[in-house]
């Protein structure tokens, strides 16, 4: 046992929640909750819009990765009883907002970017949402969410991904959302470093913090489900393969992304890092250590802007900073690794949207209603999502791991500005979080949309409460070859159970894929 773990035992054993009711002249003031953890004492507050939800919005899980700590694995926080207010969302990790129009940025910016969001390299924080009545004895199941964004953008402070309304509705689970380092700061691929996948190590450090401290917030460390969307789904699956013997979870939810989606890079030359270093005045002239030392003191916004503006210019070769194959956290052959049994044997939700690729192809800004060629969208959908999800299903079926599948196929006025987009990549996010009303100027919420949202929440919550039996109790059975999956929001119905061959058949050379079921 590590020294830090030994030292934390007495404190963890005495974790308490202290309620303080302020006195005012009316009965509408909500109580504030103060919680003691191994790394500090935090005061949250009741959500102003959802009085049944308590939120702790800014809790650090590692030391700030700044200056001499930049490009290094996350460092644990010391034991502490220092008090902090956790009533505002934390800064997002360094990232660049592209000037190139896209479907999402043009029509859904209000759902994707908070108007008050700020950026800081001191960003290794998590946020926790609980029912307002929760105490340390509640032992509620916990969903730990890893946001997506292509490992380039994203984080906690995304309006579509704030779960206040879902917590208010369920009153029976906890959601934890995690910031992790992105782009060159999270995946530098620099010649002078041993650890390149810092963003994945951030995620693991956050999971370890949650395991140690979630009981103080009313959660049960034995009831954690690790959930990621897009890049977060790929990361969730990567962690399930890297830490297969100790996954710190009893279930997985891979939403539109698995390790078979194939985004890792194998180039170990550090060429992209060196190009950026030279561009910001850190030409190491072949000395990798000197290059790193210089880059640690360049302002993060200088680095971020250089990379982002280079990408926006369309210059070639393109720069990318993505997970790096290191055979420790990211592997070159996941099929072989799975064949050797090195994957967490945990019940898993695997999901896709029906027309994933439509929000990922170049956006026809000059004539948006004309759309983009569906043949290209279809290729992105199949090769990036549908078939990788099928491969992950087969992988887990080999070990009799329960796999629950869904396809989101809903199209609603406030989430679909054009018919050609269909159920695009990420369009199921606001349905799960119950945030489909965030964008106000596209269209109205429909009864079917609300019904579909509640159905999706109920299916995921059934899994969260009991990954082995909960889904089956509501008619959602594990998926095997020839089985059925849930289709949400299509054909005027919130829920349908359809033959998996309708979605997966094309990956087996059977039939054609319908992106608009």
| Angstrom distances, CA of residue 119 to CA of 69, 93, 304 | 18, 6, 11
Alpha-carbon gap, residue 108 to 87, rounded angstroms:
26
Q: Which residue's structure tokens are 């990036």?
A: 384
Alpha-carbon gap, residue 46 to 83, rounded angstroms:
18
Is 425 catalytic? The answer is yes
Active-site residue, from 58, 92, 230, 359? 230
Which segments of 20-145 does DSSP mark as H helices, in order?
103-107, 109-112
Q: Terminus-to-terminus CA distance in the chain, angstroms? A: 53
Q: Which of 115, 66, 129, 75 is nearest to 93 (CA)?
A: 66
Is 230 catalytic? The answer is yes
Question: Are 513 and 379 a contacting pair, CB within 8 Å?
Answer: no
Active-site residue, from 212, 356, 395, 449? 356
Question: Are 503 and 386 a contacting pair, CB within 8 Å?
Answer: yes
| Angstrom distances, CA of residue 268 to CA of 226, 274, 316, 326, 473 | 30, 12, 19, 9, 48
Pairing state between β 484-488 and 495-499: antiparallel
**Residue 357 phi, psi dihedral angles, 5° rounding:** -70, -15
Alpha-carbon gap, residue 13 to 213, rounded angstroms:
10
Which segments of 361-483 does DSSP mark as H helices, in order?
374-381, 387-397, 429-433, 447-465, 470-473
Q: Which of 248, 287, 282, 273 is nearest to 324 (CA)?
A: 273
Alpha-carbon gap, residue 112 to 494, rounded angstroms:
25
Which segments of 341-446 does DSSP mark as H helices, in order?
374-381, 387-397, 429-433
∠ CA 312-316-319, rounded to 5°: 70
Alpha-carbon gap, residue 112 to 128, rounded angstroms:
19
Sign, CA dihedral 336-342-347-351, equals: negative
Is 351 catalytic? The answer is no
DSSP 74: P
SS3 247: coil
Q: Give the catalytic positions in this structure.
A: 230, 356, 425
């Amino acid at each position: 046992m590590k020294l830090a773990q030994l030292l934390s035992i007495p404190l963890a054993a005495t974790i308490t929640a202290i309620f303080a009711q302020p006195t005012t002249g009316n009965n509408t003031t909500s109580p504030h909750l103060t919680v003691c953890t191994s790394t500090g004492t935090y005061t949250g507050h009741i959500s102003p819009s959802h009085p049944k939800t308590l939120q702790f919005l800014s809790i650090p899980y590692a030391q700030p990765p700044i200056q001499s700590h930049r490009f290094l694995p996350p460092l644990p926080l010391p034991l502490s009883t220092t008090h902090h207010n956790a009533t505002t969302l934390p800064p997002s990790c360094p990232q660049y907002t592209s000037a190139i129009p896209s479907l999402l940025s043009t029509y859904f910016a209000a759902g994707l970017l908070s108007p008050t969001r700020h950026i800081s390299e001191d960003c290794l924080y998590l946020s926790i949402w609980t029912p307002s009545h929760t105490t340390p004895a509640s032992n509620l199941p916990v969903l730990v969410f890893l946001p997506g964004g292509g490992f380039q953008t994203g984080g906690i402070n995304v309006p579509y991904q704030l779960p206040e309304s879902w917590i208010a509705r369920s009153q029976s689970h906890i959601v934890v959302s995690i910031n992790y380092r992105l782009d060159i700061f999270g995946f530098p691929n620099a010649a002078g470093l041993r650890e390149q996948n810092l963003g994945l190590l951030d995620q693991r450090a956050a999971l370890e913090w949650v395991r140690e401290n979630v009981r103080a917030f009313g959660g049960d460390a034995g009831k954690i489900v690790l959930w990621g969307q897009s890049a977060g789904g790929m990361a969730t699956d990567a962690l399930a393969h890297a830490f297969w013997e100790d996954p710190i979870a009893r279930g997985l939810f891979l939403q539109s992304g698995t390790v078979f989606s194939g985004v890792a890079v194998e180039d170990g030359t550090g060429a992209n890092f060196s190009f950026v270093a030279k561009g910001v005045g850190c030409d190491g002239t072949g000395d990798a250590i000197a290059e790193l030392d210089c880059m640690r003191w360049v302002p993060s916004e200088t680095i971020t802007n250089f990379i982002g503006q280079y990408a926006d210019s369309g210059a070639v070769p393109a720069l990318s900073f993505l997970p790096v194959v290191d055979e420790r956290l990211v592997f070159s052959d996941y099929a072989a690794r799975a064949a050797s049994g090195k994957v967490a044997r945990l019940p898993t939700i695997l999901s896709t949207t029906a027309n994933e690729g439509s929000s990922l192809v170049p956006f026809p800004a000059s004539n948006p209603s004309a759309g983009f060629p569906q043949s290209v969208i279809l290729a992105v959908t199949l090769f990036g999502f549908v078939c990788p999800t099928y491969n992950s299903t087969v992988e887990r079926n080999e070990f009799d791991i329960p796999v629950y599948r869904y396809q989101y196929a809903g199209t609603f006025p406030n989430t679909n500005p054009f018919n050609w987009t269909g159920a695009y990549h990420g369009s199921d996010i606001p349905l799960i979080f119950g945030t489909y009303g965030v964008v106000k100027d596209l269209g109205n919420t429909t009864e079917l949309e609300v019904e579909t949202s509640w159905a999706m929440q109920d299916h995921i919550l059934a899994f969260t409460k009991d990954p082995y039996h909960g889904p089956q109790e509501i008619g959602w059975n594990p998926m095997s070859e020839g089985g059925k999956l849930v289709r949400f929001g299509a054909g005027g119905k919130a829920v349908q159970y359809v033959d998996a061959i309708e979605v997966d058949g094309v990956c087996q050379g059977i039939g054609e894929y319908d992106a608009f079921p």
